[in-house]
Amino acid sequence: MRGQGICDILAMICVRPAAQGGVSKLASAAEIYRRLREKPELFKLLEKGFKYNAQSVEYHPDWRQPPTDHRERPMAYTDANGRPCIQYAKNMVETIMPAYCGTDEEEQVRTALSQLEEVCSDPAVVQHWDLEAGEAYLVDNYRWLHARTEFTDDPASPRLLFRLWLQ
């Protein structure tokens, strides 16, 4: 799966934090994988995967376009070294669901994605990192899920973070 998208390693560098919020949220793919294995039917679906095009999600501005092919890509898998990986972002749901709209699989896919979101968002799994000016983190994009909380900017000094995607 590595190299299918544009981001194997993510670096987030804070130049200026938001006035309020914008806290980074990180969740371990290994822990999410372990929890998903406790739900065998869900895990089987996530291993099989869904119609999803990594580049349609990661490249802007067309990241919410439906997949252009019909290959199913796993969302839970192990890498070449046997380490658990999770491929998931909330905006993926917007690219996956149109491919199943009106099909016999639609409700099953919707339910599986909802359950995956529940596991990935469990407060027991999510860590919060409040980056201050000059701080950064570097994470394996397949072994850590990342997001941020909502934020409010100071118009005179808006939030400024640099994101670096490495493949």
Residue 14: φ, ψ to 5°: -95, 120
Tell the CATH topology of 9-166: Double-stranded beta-helix (3.60.130)
Is residue 13 within 8 A of residue 133, CB to CB? The reply is no
Please compute the mean of the pLDDT values over residues 56-61 and round it to a whole number. Answer: 50
Q: Give the Å distances, CA to CA, from 23 to 102, 135, 139.
A: 38, 13, 16
- CB neighbours of residue 9 within 10 Å: 13
For 103, the 3-state DSSP assignment is coil
**Predicted local confidence at residue 56, as pLDDT:** 53
**Confidence class of residue 4 from pLDDT cuts 50, 70 and 90?**
low
CA atoms of 66 and 53, how far apart (whole Å): 8
Q: Which pair of structure tokens corresponds to residue 136?
A: 């950064």
Stated pTM of the model: 0.80
